[in-house]
Chains A and B, each alone.
Chain A
Amino acid sequence: MNLRKNVATSESGFIFNPSTGDSFSANPIAAEILIQLKQGVSPSEIKKTVLNKYEVDSSQLERDWDDFLLQLRDANLLDT
Chain B
Amino acid sequence: MSDELKPLVVAVTGLNAIDSPGPGVAVIRALRDGFPQNIRIIGLSYETLEPGIYLHDVVDKTYQIPYPAAGVEALISRLKYIHEKENIAVIIPNFDAELYNFIKLAPSLRTLGIETYLPTLEQFDARDKINLYNFGKKYDLLVPKDKVIYQVNELHACAEELGYPLVVKGKFYDAIIAYTLEQAQKAFYKLSAKWGFPIIVQQFITGTEINIAVLGDGKGNAVSVVPMRKLYITDKGKAWAGITLEDDTLIELARTFVKSTNWKGGCELEIMRTADGKPFIMEVNPRFPAWIYLTAAAGQNQPAALVKMALGENIEPYSEYEVGKIFIRYSWDHITDVSEFQKISAFGEL
Measured CB to CB, the closest approach of chain B to A70, in angstroms, equals 17
Assembled-state Cα–Cα distance A18/B247 (Å): 8
Q: Is the CB of A20 within 8 A of B324?
A: no
Q: Is the CB of A19 within 8 A of B247?
A: yes
Any B CB within 8 A of the CB of A25:
no
Any B CB within 8 A of the CB of A40:
no
Which A-chain residue is minimally distant from B273 (CB atoms)?
A: A20
Which B-chain residue is minimally distant from A22 (CB atoms)?
A: B229
Q: Which of A8, A18, A19, A21 contacts B231 (CB 8 A)?
A: A21
Total chain B interface residues with beta-carbon distance under 8 A: 10
Total chain A interface residues with beta-carbon distance under 8 A: 7
Assembled-state Cα–Cα distance A71/B282 (Å): 30
Q: Is the CB of B246 within 8 A of A19?
A: yes
Q: Which of B229, B242, B246 contacts A6 (CB 8 A)?
A: B246
Assembled-state Cα–Cα distance A16/B119 (Å): 37
Which A-chain residue is minimally distant from B227 (CB atoms)?
A: A21
Assembled-state Cα–Cα distance A20/B323 (Å): 11
Across the interface, which residues of B come within 8 angstroms of A21, CB to CB?
A: 229, 231, 242-243, 245
Per-residue contact bits, chain B 218-252, to A (CB 8 Å; 1 contact, 0 not): 00000000000101000000000011011100000
Assembled-state Cα–Cα distance A8/B229 (Å): 17
Per-residue contact bits, chain A 8-27, to B (CB 8 Å; 1 contact, 0 not): 10000000101111000000
- Given contact pairs A18-B247, A19-B247, A20-B245, enumerate 15 new A-B contacts (beta carbons under 8 Å): A6-B246, A8-B324, A16-B324, A18-B245, A18-B246, A18-B323, A18-B324, A19-B245, A19-B246, A20-B208, A20-B247, A21-B229, A21-B231, A21-B242, A21-B245
Which residues from chain B sit less than 8 Å from chain A, CB to CB? 208, 229, 231, 242-243, 245-247, 323-324
The 9 closest A-B pairs by CB, nearest first: A21-B229, A18-B246, A18-B323, A21-B243, A19-B247, A21-B245, A18-B324, A6-B246, A19-B246
